[in-house]
Amino acid sequence: MRILRWLVALQQKRSALIATALILLAAICGCAESSSPLVAAAEPADSSAKAAPAEVSDSSETLKTGTDVPDPDRPGLDWPQFLGPQGTGISKEQGNLAGFDQDGPPVAWTKEIGEGYSAPSIRGRRLVVHHRIRNENVIECLDAVTGDSLWRHFDPTNFRDPYGYSGGPRCSPLLTDELCYTLGAGGLLSCLELKTGNPVWQLRLPEKYDLPEAFFGIGCTPILFNDLLIVLVGGQPDDGVVAFDSKTGEEVWHAVGKPTWDGAETESGQTYRWTGEEQVVGYSSPIVAKIHGESHLLCLMRQGLVSLDPKTGKERFHYWFRARVHQSVNAARPVVIGDRVLLSAAYRTGSALLQVANAQGEPNELDKDSYNVLWRDRRNLLAHWTTPIAVGNYAYGFSGRHESEGELRCVDLKTGDVVWSIDGSEDAADGGDDSYSYFGRGSMIYVEPEDKWMILGERGLLTLATLSQDGYKELARTMAPGISYPAWAAPVLARGRLYLRDKDTLLCLDLRVVKAGE
């Protein structure tokens, strides 16, 4: 095991050196953002021409094999967006989660799909997965129970990841009763009819906004707030966050960029000067939460956290939070615990816990649109892309930039201290096929009514466990059949079925079925 992990770490260091060389090459060619942000601001690009009403792409195509499906076959809850109904990775679904042996839960179905890191989403009996086959992005609707295809929508794409990663979508579909929203890595924002796959409107963000080149393409999943589709567009000079009319694709408001960060104080105490060339967003998806009775649109941008009024885009507050090195991203979503907001990122960034002030000016007699930093720690929890999950006074999350560094950690929210950490190998059975019997940079779902966690390692290790401040207690372990590295898409749970995705496979496991004789 030690030799294997050493080899994995060696390969990752080699890849990191290559990535660094590519970044330097991009900087030399003028394709990367300035490595010296503390300089006088450049003249911003003309922002007077905003996005026109969106239209359907002339080159799109929809193929239907059947649009009608029966009602769901069992009780349970939908998983209609990234990280579930509340966007937190927490499931409220009730019903026994059957244990399993080394063979794992029964396989309901498996399907070969195209490339990408996008997790599927489920509304009723319709599952939508966004993937790429050769030079086409495919938005595909399946029967969530059988895996049968209902319709497919195709759009041409020429996106190439600058560092050689998958060229497929990163963002998860967003589903309502009638509509399906997707965002491709190249910036194609689409609204389709969920029942038929017919396009309602589409918008090519790079054609409408001034988008600096991103490290790995576009990867922040949009969200809905009332009739607004909120997208972290990342445009210069102040189109970082854009709200669109969800029915038409017309822009309603835009915010965040130079007015937010120019002149902001960094953690080192220096004053940031906007250049007009920097990236504005990373890979953290936004979330709306009620705090002290007010709706906060929380967006972890490239430079840090911004809270906006989701109705108008008016800023409530911002907080500098980013790595000190250029080649870095913020990717985990903000976690809201009452009036506190937990932020975490890799690249030696660590975590911070903020407390939002209330209408009476607390804490510390601050204005209601402000905050207090409860603690800041660069080493306790370094979430690369998996959003931590808070339960009570503790947060559980994966820490580590590289696979060989990946650990599942428990952090005390009161102090920021690490209570415990594991890499997943401590409970591995001897022998067998557990060649990669550790989590790496895993992902997870907390099934709250059951007080159980489904945990997926990035090479397909799947465990059922309970987590508390007292430690990790494993209830079951298996290697998910057909799932291999990189299993980076977040797992999905709907009506007792667990959906897992890797680079070319979509797997459905039935967690409610108990095998004969058990």
- Top-ranked range on mean pLDDT: pick from 27-31, 34-38, 117-121, 327-331: 117-121
The answer to which of 66-70, 88-92, 146-150, 503-507 has the lowest mean pLDDT is 66-70
pTM of the model: 0.87
3-state helix, strand, coil in the chain (%, to 5): 10, 35, 55
Q: Is the pLDDT of residue 16 over 80?
A: no
pLDDT in tens, 271-314: 999 999 999 999 999 999 999 999 999 999 999 999 999 999 99
pLDDT in tens, 470-518: 999 999 999 999 999 999 999 999 999 999 999 999 999 999 875 554 4
- DSSP sequence for 65-77: S-------SS---
Give pLDDT, residue 337: 98
Q: What percent of the chain has pLDDT over 70?
A: 83
* 6/86: higher pLDDT: 86
Mean pLDDT of 24-44: 31
Q: Are 239 and 210 in contact (CB under 8 A)?
A: yes
2-21: burial string, b at 16+ Cβ within 10 Å, e else: eeebeebeeeeeeeeeebee
The answer to which of 25-29, 93-97, 436-440 has the lowest mean pLDDT is 25-29
CA–CA dist 225, 232 (Å, integer): 14
Rg, Å, the chain Cα set: 22
Of 511, 383, 475, the closest CA to residue 83 belongs to 383
Three-state secondary structure string covering 353-408: EEEECCCCCCCCCCCCCCEEEEEEECCCCCCCCCCCEEECCEEEEEECCCHHHCEE
Tokens 């906007």: give the residue.
274
Beta bridge partner(s), residue 304: 320
Give pLDDT, residue 238: 97
Give pLDDT, residue 149: 94
Give pLDDT, residue 70: 92
Q: Is the pLDDT of residue 25 over 70?
A: no
Beta bridge partner(s), residue 294: 291
Q: Is the pLDDT of residue 409 over 60?
A: yes
